[in-house]
Amino acid sequence: MPDSSSSGDRAHLLRRVPSVDELLQRPALASRSAQLDRSFLVNRVRGVLADLREEIRSALQIADDALDPASIEARILASLSVELRPSLRPVINASGVILHTNLGRAPLDPAVVEEFRLTATRYSNLEYDLFAGARGKRDVHTSRLLERLTGAESAIVVNNCAAAVLLTLASLARGGEVLVSRGELIEIGDGFRIPEIMEQSGALLREVGTTNRTHLADYERAIHDKTRVILRVHPSNFKVTGFTEKPDAAELIALGRRAGIPVIEDLGSGCLVDLSANAIQEPTVRESVAVGFSLVLFSGDKLLGGPQAGIIAGQKDLVARVRRHPLFRALRVDKLSIAALEVTLRAYLRADWNAIPSQRMIRLSAEEIAARAGRFLGELRPYLAELDAEADFAANSSLVGGGSTPAQSLPTHVVRLASVRHSAAQLEARLRASSFPVVARIEDDRLLLDLRTVFPDQEADLLQSLLAALR
């Protein structure tokens, strides 16, 4: 072992580092170079050499063979495969949170993707009217479906619900005031704050009422000639309980009508069908439209279960004003999202919940999940003794997630695991790092797996990842 602590030895070691050209001529790298972008390859060779020099300079113990061209070459090949590995990759969601914002919210069904595969991989009539032989609008592919499903006169689609709020306020309230109840000035995950979006739109926020109580008279008193919009925001991820009050939607809408001011609802989740039979109390878009909100704004990838999108539905004249704003062009959706949204919306017309995974997961009963958990446990059991682990299953709850009302949970059955070799936190981390990453939950120092959000065709991979983590 060279004594890397002496500066003379370090200089000697640095001189032994091979050149980029010498390395590029080695057989394995020379053969890879034909399939790789040249500057990417050279960048990786230089990167590995820079790391190596740094290790020598910082007087780390350098292994005897570390400077052999063959071992440097192996290091470069390893670095290349790390860089070429997909970054965005599938994860097994065993958390039981159906619309998990960090895990991509709503998954699409393979049949849905298959349905739009051809339009995605070929040219399409995205903005071309095949009958007129002239330029068309990309809105046509989703607008009519949205009108049918929400009862709205008109509907357009933008990048996400944050964009829908921004565009709507920029179009209808720039330079004027927007009334919002103090109890609805919310922040949703990852920095979506209603007051900040409003500022970006050029509208002035006028807070009304108090955090827990806002009366109709508070809105009434705040209205003046600069008031452009009354905005109601669904308090997606929190709940104010106790001594609370807010006006009925109908009262607020009547006030807006008397004053000639549109009353707009940022609904967030965008529930298209009544889910009360599944114990989910979430207002539907159709209800909001029917009660008379001028516009209703909602996401495409929350309860709707489609691709990321933001939908603006409501009165024709207002939708048209929003559509004409120059920001629409900057916030519009791409063709892949339009294709995915169209296919998802058509599945709603057929009430085909199997084509919408999040709807399918919401509709799974606790008994169906218990049966799957029991079978899964049966496959796991033979391995448990040799792995010093224990497992059982128990009643628990899944979460709808994705910014629907926080209390919305669904009864489920979870598989619970404990190991002598690893703590629950260690198991959870090992699962995340496994070759098929798994996101699980921890409760009472036990690892919990909720199969509600695990696709049946992922169960074999889940078992393999679990056995590897327990080892």
Ligand X SMILES: *Cc1c(COP(=O)(O)O)cnc(C)c1O
| Interacting residues toward ligand X by CB under 6 A | 160-162, 188, 192, 233-234, 236, 266, 268-269, 299, 310, 403
48/162 with CB nearer ligand X: 162
Residue owning tokens 């009353």: 263
Shortest Å, Cβ 233 to ligand X: 5
User: In sequence order, what DSSP letters do the residues of 407-438 get, joined into one string?
Assistant: T-EEEEEEEEEEESSS-HHHHHHHHHHSSS-E
* Shortest distance (Å) from residue 266 CB to ligand X: 5
Closest CA to 445 of 411, 465, 420: 420
C-beta closer to ligand X: residue 188 or 285: 188
Residues 6+ apart with CB under 8 A from 232: 180, 181, 184, 249, 252, 263, 264, 265, 266, 293
Q: How far is the CB of 322 from ligand X (least distance, A)?
A: 16
SS3 93: strand
Closest distance between ligand X and the C-beta of residue 117, in Å?
A: 25
158/361 with CB nearer ligand X: 158
For residues 187 and 443, which CB has a smaller minimum distance to ligand X in the complex? 187
CB of residue 375 vs ligand X: minimum separation in angstroms?
35
Beta carbons of 203 and 174 less than 8 angstroms apart: yes
Spatial separation of the C-alpha atoms in residues 155 and 295, rounded to whole Å: 9
Nearer to ligand X, 256 or 402 (CB): 402
CB of 271 to ligand X, least distance (A): 11
Residue with smaller CB distance to ligand X, 264 or 339: 264
3-state class (DSSP) for residue 212: coil
**Residue 127 C-beta: closest distance to ligand X, Å:** 24
Tell me how far apart the alpha carbons of residues 145 and 24 are, in angstroms, rounded to a whole number: 57
In angstroms, the CA 332 to CA 330 distance is 6
Cβ neighbours for 276, distance < 8 A, ≥ 6 positions apart = none
225 — phi, psi (to 5°)? -70, -10
142/155 Cα distance (integer angstroms): 8
Task: Tell me which DSSP letter residue 105 carries.
Answer: S
| Residue among 234 and 441 whose Cβ is closer to ligand X | 234
The CA distance from 155 to 144, in Å, is 8
Output the six-digit token pair for 74.
Answer: 């192996």
Comparing CB distances to ligand X, the nearer of 256 and 310 is 310
Nearer to ligand X, 256 or 306 (CB): 306
User: Which distant-in-sequence residues (6+ apart) come within 8 Å of 139 by Cβ?
Assistant: 156, 157, 323
Nearest residue to ligand X, scored by beta-carbon proximity: 268
